[in-house]
Structure 1
């Protein structure tokens, strides 16, 4: 069969199989566009006022963000605005004095009340005391906010309400609240103004966790305040209304009360796709290179310092070196020292006379005593053991 015929057959077979598959795919699949909300990145992930700063810059205003209130570095001017999201209870008395002196010269300060709870262990922030604001003992309650397309819109559901002293109430320009307490009050302070708010969640640009959930899983608006920050049009209108006194006159300082994540936190939380495989590879390499658990050879016996073991070892060494007569002589000398102590007369004798005296003393046959006292051959371990045994028996009978 020619090659051209073979290739024609293969191409025809491919077309015959591909056309039904393409038709099946087009009938069973459709193109769908879906928008995924990605988590914030960079400064937006830790600065809740990041979106507000970007919106102000887009509107032609100068906006500066700070993690903490730093009056020495901020150089506040009379026409500036400070949005203090940081807890005012963290401010030192010197900072409070400087901040209020700046407001008297024409500044505009927005400050929130402390979070709810822990009233028994918390003191009223000094800044609020100086302004005549009383927040301790107050709880949180939703405040209705009229929105044309959302009749049930509420605000300040999570914030602590507050009250004002008589002297502070005399300086009120605008106030908003109910019998449960105020959620907003604008106070005159010299040539400037101070806005006290129950919370500033509506200014936040970082969506809360609930806003990332599907619509079916989000809590009802009647039960909980919307948590979309400046992504909500009503929140943008409210924020613009609060910034109105010095809007366009000076710098807007956004103190967002947060710190950027450290390098180690970024490595652990965001760099795990890199370091986790490397760590697993390192552990696998160490496992492959490491020895099995336990030692290959049995552990050596611990060193012993017993005198008896040293004597035994010395005797075994002499036996291996064929020094049996030396061992016999040592035991024989031991017996003769006992004989010197118990029978001095027999100890002074020598040769056969001594053997006869020892046999008479022990009531043993002379031949047996002679065998015990005679040195064995160097390579006869059986005779050595027998004669050492006889000498020890003779010594014990004395």
Structure 2
């Protein structure tokens, strides 16, 4: 293909690509899309994060904690304690501390956690029993009289304030009801059938009891007047919010971020247990020490020396013993050459020279067979015993 033809092909390709680009540009329609990534890690860790931000926007100083350990450091004057944590393990001493803090001028808001037991005359909520309020299920209450005025919003809790024509509406859980048998409450809020919030004085402070705090979590605080009610209960004070945050355990975090490593670790542990538990033969009971004799100890000692020192060391020790006895029997034995020493040993032991030469020859470095080793040892023992 000539250079001119290649040039025309290039021009045609550029023209086609340009036409395609213009076509796509004319047909393309720009648009915007919002992608919801869900709650942020801070919102997932703190269910009352939106409530905290709302109160801060209203000029309140707010902090949060996970236990009552911070109570001694909180000045009760102009301070509100929102007790939204699990109190199933609350001790009588902790109840006294909270009530004493409130009596000194603090505002206490807490959630009733247990039902009143008529038979036992108590509930499992020590703090609720101390303020002498009872909680029950709304379904156990008597029905509203038929001639009562119909409620436009029966599922909403209404709080009436002075100098206000319309009530504030809050989204409490209507399955629960608060009862005040001692008539201690000075303010309350009701739905069509039940009472869900009561407020009573306590010394220089005040106590507010609610049936639940779900309406102040992030998912529901923007509904109705939920956020306003939380501000109303803590207005003009500093706020400390106490709740239990749910933290993932170590195993959960490891499984989430290192599943392969956990599987490998479990496999190694299983293999190790299998190796440790595997038997390699029948279990032999230890022999009784009463039946062991001197011959057995000598045999065991010889086996130990043979395993640790080898054949050469044992044979050399026997040869040295034979030569040492020959020196004692034949004065000047060391001055004789090897052939003369073998002749002297032949006269002393009445053994042929050939047998003596085989027994006293240098020990080979290679390992002898069991038969050769036993034969060599027998020759040396015969020479040693006859000297």
Q: TM-score range by the shorter chain?
A: 0.5 to 0.7
Structure 1 gaps, min length 5: 206-227, 287-301, 304-398
Please report how far the alpha carbon of residue 102 of structure 1 lies from its aligned counterpart in structure 2 after TM superposition: 0.9
Describe how 1:213-224 pairs up with structure 2 within 5 A.
none
Match of 1:127 in 2: 127
Q: Is the 8 A contact 2:170 2:226 kept in 1?
A: no
Is 2:255 aligned against 1:256? no
Match of 2:16 in 1: 16
User: Quick one: which of 204, 209, 212 aligns to 1:199?
Assistant: 212
User: Quick one: which of 169, 175, 181 aligns to 1:165?
Assistant: 181
Match of 2:51 in 1: 52
Distance in 1 separating the partners of 2:72 and 2:3: 84
Change (3 A) 1:21 1:187: same
Distance in 1 separating the partners of 2:127 and 2:11: 84
Structure 2 gaps, min length 5: 141-153, 160-166, 269-280, 283-387
Q: Is the 8 A contact 1:64 1:253 kept in 2?
A: yes
Change (3 A) 1:19 1:232: farther
SS in 2 for 1:45: helix
Distance in 2 separating the partners of 1:278 and 1:12: 58
Change (3 A) 1:21 1:190: same
Relative to the length of structure 1, the TM-score reads 0.52
Is 2:193 aligned against 1:180? yes
Change (3 A) 1:72 1:196: closer
SS in 2 for 1:106: coil
What is the CA deviation profile of residues 348-373 of structure 1, one whole-angstrom value per residue up to 9, with x for unaligned ones?
xxxxxxxxxxxxxxxxxxxxxxxxxx
Superposition RMSD in Å = 4.0
Distance in 2 separating the partners of 1:262 and 1:185: 37
SS in 1 for 2:212: coil
Q: Is the 8 A contact 1:188 1:194 kept in 2?
A: yes
SS in 2 for 1:142: coil
Describe how 1:244-323 pairs up with structure 2 within 5 A.
244=235, 247=236, 249=237, 251-269=238-256, 271=257, 275=258
Distance in 1 separating the partners of 2:69 and 2:221: 26
Match of 1:393 in 2: none
Relative to the length of structure 2, the TM-score reads 0.53
Count of residue correspondences: 247
Q: Is the 8 A contact 1:110 1:197 kept in 2?
A: yes
Match of 1:97 in 2: 96
SS in 1 for 2:197: strand
Distance in 1 separating the partners of 2:175 and 2:260: 44
Q: Is the 8 A contact 1:66 1:254 kept in 2?
A: yes
Change (3 A) 1:104 1:235: same
Q: Is the 8 A contact 2:200 2:208 kept in 1?
A: yes
Please report how far the alpha carbon of residue 132 of structure 1 lies from its aligned counterpart in structure 2 after TM superposition: 1.7
SS in 2 for 1:86: coil
